Chain A
Amino acid sequence: MHPAFSVIFLTTLIGVGQGLFLALFTGQSYSAVELLPSQDSTHFYGIGGFLALLFLIGGLIASVFHLGHPERAWRAATQWRTSWLSREVIALPLLMALVFVYAMMHYFAWDTVLFTSGTGARLQASLVVGTLGVIATFALFLCTGMIYACIKFLQEWASSLTVINYLLLGTASGFFFATAFSAWAAPELMRFYGIWTAIITLAALVTRLASLIRNNRIKHKSSIQSAIGVRHTKIVQKSQGAMGGSYNTREYLHGAPIWMFRSIKWVFLVLVFPVPLALLWLGLAQGSGALLLAGFIVQYIGLLFERWFFFAQANHPQNIYYGAV
């Protein structure tokens, strides 16, 4: 498939936003049961929540560039019964609304304690909103992944690994951002977030490698024989029904030379996993927010390459009809 920059930015930006929100919520729930020191609502959860919202808004803006008629985009919420894309169109604004409420509650200290247990654990109203937000976050990861995984003949995508990778890669980058953010806003949480970032990044490495190995071994079900229905081992296309190319040659082929395609795989493997992990380790060891931020940025750039590769690697069966390109 041809990687569209709008979709690359959409999926990576909302991934960071979702991961960051999960990180904030995890921190708040740990401190509610007094496993972590509690933080200043305004400066940590409030600002953090708004930053997560900014990432989500950035993704939404990127997605607009993908549409031919963005002014009709509201219609895209109507077919949630059958379309994962429609479900995503519902889940994203829902999550944005919940993150907004969550951030407002913290920023303006509108939070109240609903319930205090005998051991001192507190249930705050913001945790209830946050729980709903976590459900929306996971629903959004599921929708984003399923948009790709549900197309069964795009065999590189049609796997549960697609959903798992969206979840883990997005969460890893969000936790990374939370680590860097906490270096400024809540230094006592830095190590907590850093360790989680490392764990999630390593888990993502395992699942992303698993999907690379799976995709290397894929046997494509369609062939030129089944595509035109002629049984012969040697069939060569002589003309494709268009002289200057068509939508079919622009949308479904990545168009990059093979050396570039291959090297982008290594670029993303290096930029998403080892380099950020090394920066994370250094940043934590030196307590340096700048190094942690650099680690996040490197990983985010790596994720752009990762997403490019994700699209480029998917081989659409319609390409069989364009073997002459």
Chain B
Amino acid sequence: MTQLALVIDLNVCVGCSACVTSCKEWNTSGPAGAMSDDNPYGKDPTGTFFNRVQTYEVGSFPMTETVHFPKSCLHCEDAPCVPVCPTGASYKRPEDGIVLVDYDKCIGCKYCSWACPYGAREFDEHEKVMKKCTLCVDRIYDESLPESERKPACVLACPTNARLFGDVHEPESEVSVAIREEGGYPLMPEWGTKPANHYLPRRKTRMHIHEDELVRADNPLKKEERGPSAPVAEPTLDDSTSW
């Protein structure tokens, strides 16, 4: 069974919102119709987005760290938003696990958005239907695009490659390897929704330098009797090797 998903690497996300704008650009130009955009250049701009980047500060000054956190539909494997829909407009595709809304069936009752613990669905105030990330279903299978571009718009736009796309059920896919080897985790695992999207944690690359790496115990300087160390007569490691 295929389950397409995104893996978002919080370690490299710089919070530039390129994914937000490219997502909106791609999806507002599609056949499904425009996404609301009210007051875009005025006071209090608001509208429908499938993806938003939030920013958090972790810790207290001066020990703080900024975490940029992109948030879109996680295409849950056990999606609570689907069974509650009274019309069947919300559905999960069996063939690739993408959760979609059929805008022609949706009555705009908003019940599905109550049933998503992540707030990933947004009601379009102009079209009066529920919208959400489509995993760019209208891009990823489009054979008129070169194969390298058959990826979600946000993935292609990301300048730091913080967004990976692939099948999380295929053990050797890029996303599965990243989840397995880089500590990928799901959001709010307590609700058993089994999100398909995973996040990679912040990872610190630390260099550990021990003192004996700075001061060699068998420093040849001791031959010149600068060190207060062992008897000079004994051979050093350097004496006995051919360095």
Question: Shortest Cβ distance from A247 into chain B, in angstroms?
Answer: 4
A151 touches B114 (CB 8 A): yes
Considering only CB atoms, which chain A residue lies closest to B125 in the complex?
A247
Chain B residues in 8 Å Cβ range of A66: 109-110
Question: Shortest Cβ distance from A291 into chain B, in angstroms?
Answer: 40
Chain A interface residue bracket vs B: 35 or more
Q: Is B71 an interface residue (CB 8 A)?
A: yes
Chain B residues in 8 Å Cβ range of A77: 86
Render A17-30 as a binary contact track against B, CB cut-off 8 A, 1 for contact: 00000000000000
Beyond A69-B107, A151-B115, A228-B67, whether A83 also contacts B83 by CB under 8 A is yes
Question: Shortest Cβ distance from B136 into chain A, in angstroms?
Answer: 19
Chain B residues in 8 Å Cβ range of A217: none
B122 touches A248 (CB 8 A): yes
Chain B contact residues, majority secondary structure: loop
Considering only CB atoms, which chain B residue lies closest to A321 in the complex?
B119
User: How many Å lie between the Cα of A77 and that of B105 in the bound state?
Assistant: 12
A237 touches B84 (CB 8 A): no
B191 touches A153 (CB 8 A): yes
Interface residues of B in 21-65 (CB under 8 A from A): 38-39, 43-49, 52-60
Beyond A67-B107, A243-B45, whether A234 also contacts B84 by CB under 8 A is no
A238 touches B56 (CB 8 A): yes
Question: Shortest Cβ distance from A323 into chain B, in angstroms?
Answer: 9
Question: Shortest Cβ distance from A196 into chain B, in angstroms?
Answer: 34
Interface residues of A in 1-59 (CB under 8 A from B): 1
B59 touches A1 (CB 8 A): no
Q: Is B141 an interface residue (CB 8 A)?
A: no
B117 touches A222 (CB 8 A): yes
Q: Which of A73, A89, A229 lies in contact with B185, CB distance below 8 A?
A: A229
Chain B residues in 8 Å Cβ range of A316: 114, 117, 119
Render B112-132 as a binary contact track against A, CB cut-off 8 A, 1 for contact: 011111110111010111000
User: How many Å lie between the Cα of A230 and that of B69 in the bound state?
Assistant: 11
Interface residues of A in 225-268 (CB under 8 A from B): 226-230, 232, 234-248, 251-252
Total A-B residue contacts, Cβ distance less than 8 Å: 176
B190 touches A222 (CB 8 A): yes
B46 touches A244 (CB 8 A): yes
User: How many Å lie between the Cα of A35 and that of B219 in the bound state?
Assistant: 110
Considering only CB atoms, which chain A residue lies closest to B47 in the complex?
A246
Considering only CB atoms, which chain A residue lies closest to B69 in the complex?
A228
Render A148-180 as a binary contact track against B, CB cut-off 8 A, 1 for contact: 001111100000000000000000000000000
B117 touches A67 (CB 8 A): no
B55 touches A79 (CB 8 A): no
Chain A residues in 8 Å Cβ range of B108: 67-69
Q: Is A84 an interface residue (CB 8 A)?
A: yes
A83 touches B85 (CB 8 A): yes
Most chain A CB atoms below 10 A, which of B105, B106, B114, B125: B114
Q: Is A131 an interface residue (CB 8 A)?
A: no
Chain A residues in 8 Å Cβ range of B237: none
Question: Shortest Cβ distance from B115 into chain A, in angstroms?
Answer: 5
Beyond A75-B105, A78-B88, A241-B54, whether A68 also contacts B128 by CB under 8 A is yes
Question: Shortest Cβ distance from B132 into chain A, in angstroms?
Answer: 11
Beyond A246-B46, A248-B119, A248-B122, whether A79 also contacts B59 by CB under 8 A is no
B128 touches A69 (CB 8 A): yes
Question: Shortest Cβ distance from A15 into chain B, in angstroms?
Answer: 19
Q: Which of B39, B56, B59, B87 lies in contact with A72, CB distance below 8 A?
A: B87
Beyond A78-B88, A151-B114, whether A230 also contacts B119 by CB under 8 A is no
Chain B interface (Cβ within 8 Å of chain A)?
20, 38-39, 43-49, 52-60, 66-67, 69, 71, 80, 83-89, 105-111, 113-119, 121-123, 125, 127-129, 185-191, 199, 201-202
Chain A interface (Cβ within 8 Å of chain B)?
1, 66-70, 72-73, 75-79, 82-86, 89, 147, 150-154, 221-222, 224, 226-230, 232, 234-248, 251-252, 316-319, 321-322
| 9 cross-chain CB contacts under 8 A | A68-B110, A72-B107, A76-B87, A79-B86, A79-B88, A222-B190, A246-B122, A248-B119, A248-B122
